[in-house]
Amino acid sequence: MFISSPHVLSNGSRVADERQPVSIHADAPSEQWSLRLWQEIEPTFDAILAHPFISGLTDGTLDQKVFAHYVAQDVHFLGDYARALAVIATKAPTLADTAMFARHSADVFDVEFTLHETLLPALGMQLEAVAEIAVAPTTLAYTSYLLATAYSGSFADGLAAILPCYWIYARVGELLLASGSTDPRYQRWIDSYGGDEFATSVAQVLALTDRIGPTLSPVDEARARAHFANTARYEWMFFDAAYLKETWPL
């Protein structure tokens, strides 16, 4: 998942965000659509937190090769995620919403790949080598679902499909930030997703989510909610596939 770029300097240092971000927690008033969405994926989120990939980040026991596999697959994932964001931007209800998703799509390349460029060498791999690594089955399934939904669905469908990648990473990052990691490479990943810059971007998308929800018909709302639940499951599957160093069986 991407990290917002305006607050990262060329020398790698960060500047404080003067904006006050909307809460990314699932404790919003009950009339907010995002709360209903989150309540339905709480078991999935609990399973993510309990996964040994996540616990291994904080205690430093995660196999370096597992994390390298994850980062390589994330590079593959992010290319298509950026494309999905760009498609969703064209369907956004206001020009401001279009501009936000266009910026986020660009941030995938400008910021996220910069993070991977520093992580991969520390894991014994160069970014250029990722092109030679096959896209794993779960990665392909997840990105295919995102792109199909973004292209063929409504704006609400696409928004619901891309939202778990924002929100789950922000919640995981925030929780892991409190524990920290004994491994500086894993700590860098935690700092990125647990930081204020990313939280602000997620809060902006959540505010849009709560603006869109009340406008949907019951049928459209149920379909969008199903997309949200499905891609939340894909988030668990993505961590699990990395942990298993998933490859094609044939």
DSSP-H helix ranges across 92-217 = 95-107, 113-122, 137-152, 155-179, 184-194, 196-212
Residue 1, domain member (yes or no): no
Q: How far apart, in whole angstroms, are the C-alpha atoms of residue 183 and residue 123?
A: 12
User: Taking 70 as the threshold, does the pLDDT of residue 222 lie above it?
Assistant: yes
Q: How far apart, in whole angstroms, are the C-alpha atoms of residue 55 and residue 239?
A: 11
Q: What is the CATH number of the domain that holds 133?
A: 1.20.910.10
Residue 6, domain member (yes or no): no
Question: How much of the chain exceeds pLDDT 90, in percent?
Answer: 73
Residue 26, domain member (yes or no): no
Mapped onto helix, strand or coil, the DSSP state of residue 77 is helix
Backbone angles phi, psi at 210, to 5 degrees: -75, -20
Please pick, among 112, 165, 174, 221, the residue that the annotation labels catalytic: 165
Instruction: Tell me what pLDDT residue 23 has.
Output: 56
**What does the pLDDT look like over 98-141, one tens digit per residue?**
999 999 999 887 766 677 888 888 888 887 788 899 999 999 99
Q: How many domains does one find in the chain?
A: 1
The mean pLDDT value for 171-193 works out to 92
Instruction: Tell me what pLDDT residue 214 has.
Output: 96
CA quadruple 165, 167, 168, 173: dihedral sign: positive
Name every residue whose Cβ is closer than 8 Å to that of residue 183 and which is 6 or more positions away in sequence: 57, 60, 62
Instruction: Tell me what pLDDT residue 4 has.
Output: 52
User: Taking 90 as the threshold, does the pLDDT of residue 154 lie above it?
Assistant: yes
Residue 17, domain member (yes or no): no
User: Taking 90 as the threshold, does the pLDDT of residue 56 lie above it?
Assistant: yes
HSE (CB half, 13 Å, CA atoms) of 235?
A: 29
Please pick, among 128, 132, 235, 246, the residue that the annotation labels catalytic: 235
Instruction: Tell me what pLDDT residue 129 has.
Output: 83
235 in active site: yes
Name every residue whose Cβ is closer than 8 Å to that of residue 250 and which is 6 or more positions away in sequence: none
User: Taking 90 as the threshold, does the pLDDT of residue 9 lie above it?
Assistant: no
pTM listed for this prediction: 0.88
What does the chain come to in residues? Answer: 250
The whole domain housing 231 covers 33-243
User: Taking 50 as the threshold, does the pLDDT of residue 13 lie above it?
Assistant: no
Residue 173, domain member (yes or no): yes
The mean pLDDT value for 179-195 works out to 91
Residue 8, domain member (yes or no): no
Q: How far is CA 134 from CA 124, 177, 187, in A?
A: 18, 31, 27
Backbone angles phi, psi at 8, to 5 degrees: -115, 120
Residue 82, domain member (yes or no): yes
Question: How much of the chain exceeds pLDDT 70, in percent?
Answer: 87
How confident is residue 5, by pLDDT bands cut at 50, 70 and 90? very low
Instruction: Tell me what pLDDT residue 111 has.
Output: 66
Summary mean pLDDT of the chain? 88
Instruction: Tell me what pLDDT residue 102 has.
Output: 96
The mean pLDDT value for 218-247 works out to 98
Residue 19, domain member (yes or no): no
**What does the pLDDT look like over 18-44, one tens digit per residue?**
333 345 665 544 479 999 999 999 999
